[in-house]
Amino acid sequence: MISSAYIHIPFCNYICHYCDFTKFFYNRELADQYLKALENEMVTAVGKKQQAVNTIYVGGGTPTALSYEQLEVLLKVIADSFDVMACPEYTFEANPGEFDERKLALLKQYGVNRISFGVQVFDDQMLEKLGRNHTVADVYENLRHFEKQDFQNVSVDLMYGLPGQTYKDFESSINEAIGLGLPHYSSYSLQIEPKTVFYMRNKKGKITKPVEEEEAAMYELLLNKMESNGIYQYEISNFAKPGFESQHNLTYWNNDFYFGFGAGAHGYLPGKRTVNMKPLNHYNKKALEDGLPRLHEETVEKRDAIEEQMFLGLRKTAGVSKKGFEDRFGLSINSLYRRELDYLKRKEWIEENEETIRLTKQGQLFGNIVFQEFLLEDEKL
């Protein structure tokens, strides 16, 4: 069963200096054409009968950059393909200052029950340096809108490891975020990606990130602050009060199947991973022609699926289930990875019991190195 759907809306009113996602400046005419292309892609994949899914996630870009009328068109398109009223978790990404109560009421009307809120930092000067178009005051204004519309499942995004950001700066943002009393928080270290403003500035020596030791201290601060406030880590970068874990993101980390719709979107269907065309004109043309705007499809061999199960599953604090792994692949983790597990245990980067394998707190700091140990050698399969 394909249990989830990701829908990408690539339009933004401004482009953040660090963002490398598929995005374009908002244009009404282009957005109208895009919504028609998106509808054709979704109908082609799903059919005209509403499909039941466990999660829907509308991301971007900035979905709420659409006009009220376009937002309603999008919501109708999604409702035609999926049983939105029976969907347990239906998330929209939103940026502070980019929507009002009217748009929020529309989301509520069409079954949206979760908001992922791109705050990033509680510091107006730092927001300006990031290329964000909102202020801290906008955050609080929008939170009042959420409360009026009875949105109880709200997640806030925070960033650390930013150019010019100190340990004290990040501590101040965490404290303010936790003070909101929200049920879910995501926090990510800045990655300077090619084709971004920060990448060019970094190459010219105009900006630098904090040193690794300070960034590690920020991450440790994050862990301690969340835990001491009853907000529990369930994935390397995600924290929630019990019962508010993001089920959509768990789809990814559990290596389950999901649709990916829209320009540049990735999907994972039985036996294959899909990637859509990124350029807007290419996506629109192909999606309108035949509903299959694929850049490429990749067959997922057993080796790939096993490696992904380990990489993704170890991101969760619950770790990888030994029984779940064996049920899925007909092989035990011990038979494939005994040497690697013993090595990682000696390094104190993983811990193991009869049921699971999981990263230690120390191991979370070296996650990418740990994950490399689970690349399979030819003779193992």
pLDDT in tens, 170-195: 999 999 999 999 999 999 998 888 88
| pLDDT score recorded for residue 21 | 74
> For residue 379, what pLDDT band results from cuts at 50, 70 and 90?
low
Q: In angstroms, rounded to a whole number, what is the distance separating the alpha carbons of residues 329 and 310?
A: 12
| pLDDT score recorded for residue 131 | 86
Q: Which CATH architecture has domain 4-253?
A: Alpha-Beta Horseshoe (3.80)
User: What burial class does residue 171 get, using C-beta atoms within 10 Å of its C-beta: 0-12 exposed, 13-18 middle, 19+ buried?
Assistant: middle
101-125 average pLDDT score: 95
| pLDDT score recorded for residue 201 | 86
Report which secondary-structure segment, H or E, holds 151. none
Q: In angstroms, rounded to a whole number, what is the distance separating the alpha carbons of residues 366 and 93?
A: 29
> For residue 306, what pLDDT band results from cuts at 50, 70 and 90?
very high
Name 294's Cβ contacts closer than 8 Å, sequence gap at least 6: 274, 275, 276, 277, 286
Q: Is the pLDDT of residue 381 over 70?
A: no
Name 291's Cβ contacts closer than 8 Å, sequence gap at least 6: 40, 41, 43, 44, 45
Angle between helices 68-81 and 101-109 (to 10 degrees): 10
> For residue 12, what pLDDT band results from cuts at 50, 70 and 90?
confident
Q: In angstroms, rounded to a whole number, what is the distance separating the alpha carbons of residues 14 and 52?
A: 35
Looking at the chain, the domain(s) classified CATH 3.80.30.20 span 4-253
In the numeric block, which tokens belong to residue 308? 């992904």
Q: Is the pLDDT of residue 15 over 80?
A: no
> For residue 380, what pLDDT band results from cuts at 50, 70 and 90?
low
Looking at the chain, the domain(s) classified CATH 1.10.10.920 span 302-380
In contact, 57 and 186? CB cutoff 8 Å = no
Q: Is the pLDDT of residue 45 over 90?
A: yes
CATH code of the region 302-380? 1.10.10.920
Higher pLDDT residue, 242 or 203? 242
Q: Is the pLDDT of residue 338 over 70?
A: yes
In the numeric block, which tokens belong to residue 342? 């013993």
User: What burial class does residue 349 get, using C-beta atoms within 10 Å of its C-beta: 0-12 exposed, 13-18 middle, 19+ buried?
Assistant: buried
In the numeric block, which tokens belong to residue 60? 């971007």
223-245 average pLDDT score: 97
> For residue 20, what pLDDT band results from cuts at 50, 70 and 90?
confident
Name 308's Cβ contacts closer than 8 Å, sequence gap at least 6: 255, 300
pTM above 0.85, yes or no: yes
Name 147's Cβ contacts closer than 8 Å, sequence gap at least 6: none
Report which secondary-structure segment, H or E, holds 224. helix 212-228
Of 281, 276, 289, the C-alpha closest to 34 is 281
Q: In angstroms, rounded to a whole number, what is the distance separating the alpha carbons of residues 87 and 285?
A: 31
| pLDDT score recorded for residue 307 | 94
Name 310's Cβ contacts closer than 8 Å, sequence gap at least 6: 320, 337, 371, 374
In contact, 37 and 86? CB cutoff 8 Å = no
